[in-house]
A and B are shown apart, each in its own frame.
Chain A
């Protein structure tokens, strides 16, 4: 039997649970856990939950970003950045003084690096050549 990936489990779960409520939902979730135990995937449960949330967000059109910045971010700037990525944006912010200045935005498995540190390193490389 071909092994299913975490993503496939998450998608399947999403598909069967979208329009369910109350008792039915409970029943489905119980069955899903049994399925995971049968497939020996209980260890992966946390990853599957993560995939599930990601998938649901994606369907709902929510873009998740993580902003790293050297100092505390102002509300106004945050709104501006959020607007740039679309209407529904859920943003997390992280303060990391080691990037010196500028901003670093993670978006799924992409990274937009406009930090001062990276720019300086690039500049150093350019001068050394």
Chain B
């Protein structure tokens, strides 16, 4: 750009500048501390409106807050970000805007904070479009039943606890049981599946977040993922808002008719942050010192997950909330709340994790209430038998040690069960394709692996999949398309028999 054109542009800008004076409504801080301010004045203030704190000493620097408590003479607000420079008597202005985040396609691949500001060192996000953080979930008229699957790439989940697009599936377990690993694997497996992913890290260590982002970049998952971060060092106000911000960003893509997968990792920390904010605002505490509306805190968030019907664009938002339990106690307040809100849970156990069964899925306690409708036909066919075999195995598992004294029928069931358990083990970051899953599960169901040593099941499975890809790629393509009839079944049978030879 030449000097002249710059001058021209500048002149144009100056000419366009209008001297406007607006009447602004102001109040003053009465009391401030711990990220919460009590403000006088602001008679017309709306609930969850953004307030602007201006401090004379800081010059043009602005701090924002959100009005939460509207009382007779005061307004209780939480401050977003740093608040040390604010003091009693500072002026607070209304902005007339409800709390919202910027939304744009360019958010994809970025790491942002709950206010939509990038924290990955990249360019600021330029957009004129804002979505409110708090939005009432889509109504009955706009929805349809969950009908297409989210392939997580984890055999145990895709076969036995299927997740559909628009479902809310809770991932619950103690610390260090691989909850995040399940969610990250699910995100990585969405490559090329036309899915936008939003990973909301709530109150987590920055080191863990950095590791996850690096992994997502390495696997190419960052090309379709937004990471929303409210770290452990961020104030409680931002931690509390993070899931809503992530959800609002997801809704933007859902409204364009796209499919979105939202992971909230984890909601127990958000409940803690909300408890902190509520207690500081002097709202009365209830059970476990959580405020009375902590159920609504999660239900209004998870209710926003939905599958829209054709008339409304056909988009979907799948939610994978994560809850951390303390010493396996699922009867604590927050876990029971979230279990009752979601459409099923994936229950991870420490015991199983240390026994080497990873993902440490407790098949008995994990359920998916709506995902079954969304499974593809081939998967539904083979998974039914798998579930039955696993249930029988669980009953007999206790006798497994006395294998020598058992009748042959029972022994066979136990052998089958151990092989299935072995097959369902899967290392992290290695998602399996649907067709491979169907093939392997069919083979083990029909006893083709019975002659294989338990330790060699994984290896044999790998060989079988390679063999099938080499010998009959047409068959696998049909399975991907969701076709299933006797002919296909016979073909699979043939492949397996040939392979065993």
**Which A residues contact B (CB, under 8 angstroms)?**
5-7, 98, 106, 109-114, 119, 121-123, 126-127
Contacts and interface: CB of A to CB of B under 8 A. Distances in A.
B301 interface: no
Contact of A109 (B10, B17, B27, B56): B27
Nearest to B73: A5
A123 B91 CA distance: 22
B233 interface: no
Contact of B42 (A7, A109, A112): A109
B73 A110 contact: no
A110 B24 contact: yes
A109 B26 contact: yes
Interface of B: 10, 13, 16-17, 19-27, 41-43, 56, 60, 72-73, 91, 93
Given A5-B72, A5-B73, A126-B13, A110 B23 contact: yes
Contacts of B72: 5, 7
Contacts of B26: 106, 109-111
Given A112-B23, A112-B24, 10 more contacts: A6-B73, A7-B73, A109-B27, A109-B42, A110-B23, A110-B25, A113-B22, A119-B19, A126-B17, A127-B13
Contacts of A126: 13, 16-17
22 contacts: A5-B73, A6-B73, A7-B72, A7-B73, A98-B56, A106-B26, A109-B41, A109-B42, A109-B43, A110-B23, A110-B24, A111-B23, A111-B25, A111-B93, A112-B24, A113-B21, A119-B19, A122-B20, A126-B16, A126-B17, A127-B10, A127-B13
Contacts of A5: 72-73
A121 B60 contact: yes
A118 to B, nearest CB: 9
A104 to B, nearest CB: 10
A123 B21 contact: no
B354 to A, nearest CB: 56
Dominant secondary structure at the B interface: mixed
Contacts of A112: 21, 23-24
B20 to A, nearest CB: 8
A18 B17 CA distance: 52
A42 B182 CA distance: 61
A35 to B, nearest CB: 19
A113 B52 CA distance: 15
A127 B10 CA distance: 8
Q: Which 6 A-B pairs have the closest CB atoms?
A: A109-B41, A114-B21, A111-B26, A111-B24, A5-B72, A110-B23
Nearest to B28: A109
B25 A109 contact: yes
A126 B23 CA distance: 19
A123 B23 CA distance: 18
Nearest to A6: B73
A114 B43 CA distance: 22
Contacts of B56: 98
Nearest to B16: A126
Nearest to A4: B72
Nearest to A47: B73
